[in-house]
Structures are given as C-alpha cells and as structure tokens.
C-alpha cells in the first residue's frame, strides 16, 4: 500500500438542507476533526466526508442519504462516497473496476452518527460510530397543549430557517393530503413566510388523486374550511397506475411500503413538474408519523412495548449494534427517507421536511408516551392528532381540521392501491433483477477490465 496517496472520492460533495448553527464549511471541518460536540450544536440537515491520514470520517442526518463502497485499488482500499448506489457503480465502471461492485456491498452511513473507517488494507476493520444526537426521553409533562406547542414550535423554526433561504418570490410546493402532518406544515409554512415578511400565497399545495382515494376529498374539505382553496391544486390521474419497478430503481430499495409510497410520489411530482417546469422548492410532512409513533402496529411485528422501549426505533431502526440492523440500508426513517429524497431529486426538486430535523425529533421524544398511553395502543392512534392540533393552534392561532390517518399511497389510490400492493419478496426480486441487468455491462467478456493491482502509469 502506498502512503500519501489520496484514497477517497466524494462524488457529490458536502451538502446541507436547512442547516443552522454552522456553515457547511464548519461542518466539514468538524467531521475532519471528529468533533461530535460541534456537530451536535447544528440544526437542519447535512452530509459530509473528510479524510485524515488513513482515517475517513463520514456523518449525516436523516434528510440527506450518504453511501460508500470500498474498492480495491493498487494503493490499497479506495473509498468512494455518494448519495446513491448507482452513482457508486458508475464511478467503478468509469475506472473499469465495475466487476468488483455489488450493490449489497455498499453501506449507508447511519443518521446521527459520526462514522470512522481506517483504510489499512485487507481486511479493513469495521467502522467506529460516535453519536452526535443524544436527546432526552420522556422528560416532558402530560399537558398536551404544552407538549404540542414545544413540538410544533420546533418544526416551525425548522421550516422558517429553510424558507428564509428560498430566493424571494420563488414559488414553493407542498405535497399535501389534508392529513395531520402535511396540514400542519401548510399552516406552519404560511406563518413562517408571513413572519419573514414574505407572501404566504407563494405556497401551493398539491394533492394526488389516482381515482378512488379519499385524500382529494379530504384535502378539499380541509382547504375549504380554512379558506385556502386558492392555494390548493388536485393532481387527478385516474388512468395512471404507479410504476413500482421504476420506484424500486429510483429509491434503490425493496421495502414494500416505501416502494409504494415512492411510486405514488413519482406520479405526483412528474405531473407537477409537467405543469410547473420552473418549480424547485418542495415541502412535505414526512417524519411526522415516526415522531409521534403513529404507525398501526398491526402492519408489522412490532408491539407497543418494543416501540416505547426503543425511543428512536422509527427514526433509526433498532440501532447499529442490533442483530436486525442492516449495514446496506441502516434502519428506520434513516433508511426510508429515500422515498422522499430520491423522487424529489429525480424531478429537480429540493425537498425538505421540518419533522425530520433533530430539533423536532428531540421535542417529540420529550413526550412521556408511556404515561399518556397507559399501555393502550388505541390511544397511540389518536394522540398525534391531539398533540399536533394543539401545537399548531399555539403557534399559528389556527385550529386545524384533523382526519383519520391513511398512508400516502392508500389515500391517493384507495381501492386501486389495494390491487397493486406488493410483497417484500417481489420487491427484492425486482431489485436484484435490475442490478443483474446493470452488472452485465461490467462483466461483459468484451468489456475492458482493470485489475486492482494495476498502477495508473502502466495502464
């Protein structure tokens, strides 16, 4: 192995979204020095990579995916970093070492950790993880208005910080179902724009209607009740069946609920892009269900006990030391946020959800769920509406309509969605088949291949 040779390539570079408390350059410097306390002082989202001698450090938050692949080159292990699996593969192909690649050998950096990898040869040691997000749990009181105000205020501040960087006069889109999360973001964004001295009517909410779903009617009732119909538009696509295979290729994952959600999102954003070619900025309410633990337990192998005793389960999965932790995909919303990130990126949107920020997550974790639920799962399904509605009213003065929870794909498709639901086994088979097709390029007998032992001067 040759010392002093650069063995790191960050294909996409350091990124931020709604970052507060530091500049992106300061975040990069903190990652370089392994300064977790400095990273903890920031808000919003970032993803950054730095190399210090033989040690590479990587860190990210939920809103910005970060992946890496260890290639073997003449000077030892070479770490290539990007936001997507296919970009890692494309780089390997450009270096004629695509034959080394396997999508399941890529790794996703877990959110809220500074990760260190020592590039020392074969085999390279496992990464070391240092958390920079250590929120307090269940320290709040049981007053729902106070809890709601604290939680929604954190989301409001995140929304305001992001909106403050949107160029003046630029329109802003909102993915809107009329549900608790997107409804609250609608009102918080309007309030933030107004407080910033901007026109709140720059915001336009879009609701997907694939025919038969309930979201369009719900959203229409919502905007009519609050007098905001002029800022709302239904995207009606009754003859469109979301393309699930395209969604798998877009998010590079095979979790069925995320695939279905992404397929619906792709349908919505494609139509919005066709109607509004210059629209760039996109808000959504992703993360709200995770923060208030509002997923139906019947849809999974989870119990109310497992959810309450693992406070960050929905945001981070079971944790980096758990048996069920996936190195390829990490866990929780840290994994699943690609369902929002990748479709938005594909159609040229800069997406942001205030509920994915550490401030909002920390505020939600202060809620004493066990004391409020008394081990009753049914209360878990109504608590979110009570907390968020109280918080929105405290922050904006508006009493928000609250409707029963539905998943995005269900609310958009209704009965039609129930006919195109898919299994994890099917999604995984499609994912592997897609990569089998792509990898044929690198393994083509006629393709030029370079050994990892080949030094550049001898090529």
pLDDT tens digits, residue range 212-237? 889 999 999 999 999 999 999 999 99
Give Cα 206 to chain centroid, integer Å: 20
CATH class belonging to 144-426: alpha beta
Residue range(s) occupied by CATH 3.40.50.620 in the chain: 144-426
Polymer length in residues for the chain = 459
Which residues sit opposite 283 in a β-bridge? Answer: 174, 352
**How far apart are alpha carbons 63 and 333 in whole angstroms?**
9
Residue range(s) occupied by CATH 3.60.20.10 in the chain: 8-133
For range 117-124, the mean pLDDT: 81
Closest alpha carbon to 333 in 313, 349, 306, 359? 313
Q: Which two tokens stand for residue 70?
A: 């260890």
Considering only residues 375 and 2, tell me which one the structure prediction assigns the higher pLDDT.
Answer: 375
**How far apart are alpha carbons 372 and 380 in whole angstroms?**
9
CB 308 within 8 A of CB 377: no
- Per-residue HEC secondary structure of 338-381 comes to HHHHHHHHHCCCEEECHHHCHHHHHHHHCCCHHHHHCCCHHHHH
- Asked if the model's pLDDT at residue 3 lies above 70, the reply is no
SS3 (DSSP) at 107: strand
CATH class belonging to 8-133: alpha beta
Which tens digit of pLDDT belongs to each residue from 125-141?
899 999 999 999 999 99
SS3 (DSSP) at 91: helix
- Rg, C-alpha atoms of the chain: 22
**How far apart are alpha carbons 360 and 219 in whole angstroms?**
24
pTM of the model: 0.95
The pLDDT, as a whole number, for residue 444 is 85
Cα 66 to Cα 10, 143, 204, 341, distances in angstroms: 10, 38, 30, 12
């Amino acid at each position: 192995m040759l010392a002093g040779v650069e063995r790191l390539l960050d294909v996409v570079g350091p990124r931020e979204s709604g970052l507060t408390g530091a500049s992106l350059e300061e975040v990069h410097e903190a990652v370089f020095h392994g300064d977790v306390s400095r990273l903890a002082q920031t808000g919003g989202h970032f993803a950054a990579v730095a190399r210090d001698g033989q040690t590479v450090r990587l860190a990210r938050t939920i809103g910005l995916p970060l992946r890496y692949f260890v290639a073997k080159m003449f000077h030892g292990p070479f770490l290539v970093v990007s936001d997507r699996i296919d970009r890692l593969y494309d780089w390997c192909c450009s270096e004629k070492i695509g034959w080394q690649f396997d999508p399941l050998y890529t790794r996703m950096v877990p959110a809220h950790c500074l990760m260190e990898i020592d590039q020392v040869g074969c085999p390279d040691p496992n990464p070391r993880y240092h958390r920079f997000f250590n929120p307090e749990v269940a320290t709040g009181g049981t007053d729902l208005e106070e809890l709601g105000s604290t939680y929604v205020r954190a989301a409001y501040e995140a929304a305001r910080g992001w909106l403050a960087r949107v160029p003046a006069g630029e329109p802003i889109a909102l993915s809107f179902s009329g549900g608790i999360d997107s409804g609250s973001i609608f009102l918080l964004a309007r309030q933030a724009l107004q407080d910033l001295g901007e026109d709140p009517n720059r915001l336009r909410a879009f609701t997907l209607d694939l025919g038969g779903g309930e979201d369009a009617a719900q959203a229409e009732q919502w905007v009519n009740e609050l007098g905001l119909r002029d800022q709302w538009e239904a995207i009606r696509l009754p003859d469109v069946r979301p393309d699930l295979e395209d969604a798998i290729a877009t998010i590079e994952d095979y979790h069925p609920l995320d695939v279905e959600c992404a397929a619906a999102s792709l349908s919505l954003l494609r139509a919005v892009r066709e109607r509004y070619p210059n629209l760039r900025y996109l808000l959504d309410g992703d993360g709200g269900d995770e923060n208030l633990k509002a997923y139906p337990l019947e849809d999974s192998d989870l119990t109310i006990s497992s959810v309450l005793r693992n406070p960050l389960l929905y945001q981070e999965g079971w944790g980096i030391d758990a048996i069920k932790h996936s190195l390829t995909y990490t866990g929780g919303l840290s994994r699943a946020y690609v369902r929002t990130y990748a479709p938005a990126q594909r159609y040229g949107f800069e997406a942001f959800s205030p509920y994915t920020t550490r401030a909002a997550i920390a505020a939600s974790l202060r809620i004493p769920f066990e004391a409020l639920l008394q081990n009753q799962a049914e209360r878990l399904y109504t608590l979110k509406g009570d907390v968020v509605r109280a918080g929105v009213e405290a922050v904006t003065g508006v009493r928000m309509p609250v409707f029963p929870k539905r998943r995005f794909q269900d609310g958009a498709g209704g009965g039609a969605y129930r006919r195109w639901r898919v299994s994890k086994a099917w999604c995984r088979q499609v994912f592997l088949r897609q990569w089998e097709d792509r990898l044929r390029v690198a393994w083509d007998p006629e393709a030029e291949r370079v050994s990892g032992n080949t030094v550049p001067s001898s090529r």
